[in-house]
Amino acid sequence: MIYMPIPKPQSFSCYIYTTPYPSNFTTTTGTAGRKLKMHMPANTLLPQYLFPILFLLLVSWPAGHADHQRHPFACDPSNAAVKDLPFCKVKLPIAERVRDLLSRLTLKEKVGLLVDNATAVPRLGMLGYEWWSEALHGVSNVGPGTRFGGDFPGATAFPQVITTAASFNASLWEEIGRVVSDEARAMYNGGMAGLTYWSPNVNIFRDPRWGRGQETPGEDPIVAGEYAARYVRGLQGNLPGDRLKVAACCKHYTAYDLDNWSGVDRFHFNAKVSKQEMKDTFEVPFRECVMQGKVASVMCSYNQVNGIPTCADPRLLRDTIRGAWGLNGYIVSDCDSVGVLFDNQHYTATPEEAAADAIKAGLDLDCGPFLGIHTQGAMDRGLLKETDVDSALVNSLTVEMRLGMFDGSGDDVFGKLGPRDVCTRSNQELALEAARQGIVLLKNHGPSLPLSQRRHRSVAVIGPNSDVTVTMIGNYAGIACGYTTPLQGMGRYTRTIHHRGCSNVNCKNAHLFGDAIAAARQADATVLVMGLDQSIEAEFKDRDGLLLPGYQQELVTKVAAASKGPTILVVMSGGPVDVSFAEHDPKVSSILWVGYPGQAGGTAIADVLFGTHNPGGKLPMTWYKQDYLSKVPMTTMDMRSNEATGYPGRTYRFYKGPLLVYPFGHGLSYSNFIHTLATAPAIFTVPVDGRHRNTTTTTTNNAIRVTHAKCGGLSLGLQVDVKNTGSKDGSHTLLVYSTPPVGHWGPHKQLVAFAKVHVPARTQLRVPINIHVCKFLSVVDRSGVRRIPMGQHSLHIGDIKHLLSIQSTPLGVIKS
């Protein structure tokens, strides 16, 4: 999909492909697709409304099989020509099987396997395969590898990732991944999906305007890294012997968090990132995804980093992802990004050079036709060797074999999953529970929540998002099993009086306000469900500001002023919204943020409003005031503040200014939780590897290089008592922050541990906390070196402050 300014009149080609290919498709250099050609005038945009049309053409194209049964695996036992070849023998090591298969492929066949719609090799029993499927928060039909219909009309639509991240519940994240992969495997068995899912998105939500921030776990690299590892483990199955249930993919590597802002788009953006910011922020989630989650794939992004396209940078792909982190899997491009680095960024003089640069940098698979078209030419010109192509295919074919795609019969532990395993009652209950846990109570004056079915016999339900369905599942979603809208959810508790007030979230006029105001005057309570949708924030669409769109703010203020009972503002959005007007308005008694809460969002919202569920979510990103934006261009990648230039810094880690609506980690409850630090060391000793004790490079400003410390198992243990003094059982998120010693290059504070605990009313729970010292109590210096500062660290847990002195072993510190 392309969305870009065209600098001069030119013809533009777009390929649409399906697998298997319709008989009227043509093949060009191993790439099958129907080519749409159109003329684009100078300085125009391909309208965004065309994308759904093109996509519908893709997904509705008649498939090659009507019974929706899974194609036979490669190495089908009924195929006498291949069943006894070494690559089909499941008892052989996978590396040996891959070598055998590669030795049998012709160069033309190899080139046809470098693209997402990999071509068939009938003589070896290999069918065509579409690599591109998505499962960001449920099985999705965004990619051409998955479609709905027949026995699979939909799949469980969990809350958008930013909402689930607000639960701060790592076990929930993994469980969602497990359920999503169950449904993915079931659909694969039914011939409706693939086994390679290009999810999750673990980019840092650096700027509040980013349209895709909703897809991410938020602004904190530690949270994003833990989310990545846990969701990937759930998807991939944690199987013995290196096997995979499905293959996940962490994307988009790296420093990608701008789509289309102020004339700059992701296809042309060069992210200028210091070594310090790269190591300290942007790399962290991907490192955790590879090293802890054991992800089977990483996707490189469209943008350049410091002048080099990420998909052609060997330092990023070959040296870091595969070398330093040890990726056991394949590296794939974002869709058509190899073409983008040639056609849009003009990084190389010829397409053959672009193909060669990408493959030699470490790219294994191209989402798009570019490598299928230009790799042979690159080899003819001596820019690539066949061994370079082999190196790429080793990684992708190995993943297919780990998935069991060359195991013949397919009688594996997941082979019996089918339609009955999709949209099950338990799966949908998990989606509801995820929505409940992700709702954040931002304000509760009085308190006015929870509402009472006895006292609030009627509720005015107002707002453009008050009766929505698809809006609740955000982007990169599929077709939900079913929906409960906010209006329907509240209708299960009390009588509702419904008037939208605005016809949609753009809220361009106020002519519908009268009925909404009248409803508020007569109801016992008023709930306004406002916010955003994909017309305001989305892929290709970054926001211009942080205020509620159009006349929404005026609607809230007027309705609140007229309301007979308490007025509750419910904000449905992916990114933060400046609702400071409502925070300071005494007539708006309570505010909830619900993100995009998934198919069961209406039930979850009503359960929180009426107290069936006690809210426990916390914001995974900072909510800024509108004025903050004037100080931070989206194109400035710096996280740290700069007093000399007036740059204020980004995220809770580096911004300390006054332009906040709500801070990261903010979230109230219907209960009151008190923390007491039961046990914590006052001094902690870091052992230094003996080989480095007398090396001046070990320390700088009394900070030890992490690589010189003995980090294995080096954890700091705390015990925290959490007491629920309220009358309602509740879940509580325990957030542990650290502030490093003064004078170092670290953040103002950094989350170093978090835990989700359930505490019954009027009881106390002791919570053990383990902090990995090398990972979480370290900072990154200006040269990009991670170090552990010696001296006094300050740990913060709620209102508790604990001072911790970190020292090294004798002779371990040589001051310089």
pLDDT at 5 over 60: no
What CA–CA distance (Å, rounded) separates 571 from 578? 11
Residue positions annotated with a catalytic role: 334
Angle at 605 between CA 601 and CA 610, to 5 degrees: 150
C-alpha to C-alpha distance for 564 and 335, rounded to whole angstroms: 53
Residues in the chain: 816
Encode pLDDT of 594-650 as tens digits.
999 999 999 999 999 999 999 999 999 999 999 999 999 999 999 999 989 999 999
The rounded distance, in Å, linking the Cα atoms of 343 and 606 is: 50
Structure confidence at residue 149 (pLDDT): 97
3-state secondary structure of 696: helix
Least confident of 228-232, 468-472, 711-715: 711-715
Contact assessment for residue 158 and residue 211, using Cβ atoms and an 8 Å cutoff: no
- Residue % of the chain over a pLDDT of 70: 88
- The whole-number pLDDT of residue 757 equals 97
**Other Cβ atoms within 10 Å of 58 Cβ, number:** 17
How far apart, in whole angstroms, are the C-alpha atoms of residue 523 and residue 566?
A: 10
Per-residue confidence (pLDDT) for residue 809, from 0 to 100: 81
Mean per-residue pLDDT for 311-334? 98
DSSP 164-184: HHTT--HHHHHHHHHHHHHHH
- Assess whether pLDDT exceeds 80 at residue 341: yes
Residue 231's alpha-carbon distances to 164, 237, 427, 616, in angstroms, are: 11, 10, 16, 21
State both tokens at 609: 């409003």
Classify residue 566 by burial, with Cβ atoms within 10 Å: 0-12, 13-18, 19+.
buried
- Residue position matching structure tokens 């040996």: 96
Digit-coded pLDDT (tens) for 169-207:
999 999 999 999 999 999 999 999 999 999 999 999 999
Say which residue the tokens 């780990």 belong to: 402
Q: In terms of DSSP H, where are the helices of 659-797?
A: 773-776
pLDDT reading at 573 higher than 60: yes
Backbone φ and ψ for 634, nearest 5 degrees, come out as -60, -25
Q: Which residues contact 413 (CB under 8 A, 6 or more apart)?
A: none
Cis preceding-peptide flag for 281 (omega within 30 of 0):
no
What pLDDT sits at residue 692?
Answer: 56
Task: Give the pLDDT of residue 66.
Answer: 35
Task: Render pLDDT for 458-486 as a digit per residue (tens, 0 to 9).
Answer: 999 999 999 999 999 999 999 999 999 99
For 138-177, write each residue's pLDDT tens digit: 999 999 999 999 999 999 999 999 999 999 999 999 999 9
Residue 584 CB coordination number (10 Å):
10
Q: What is the pLDDT of residues 290-299, one digit of tens each?
A: 999 999 999 9
Label residue 411 by pLDDT band (50, 70, 90).
low
Q: What angle do CA 264, 266, 268 make, to 5 degrees?
A: 65
C-alpha radius of gyration, the chain, whole number:
27
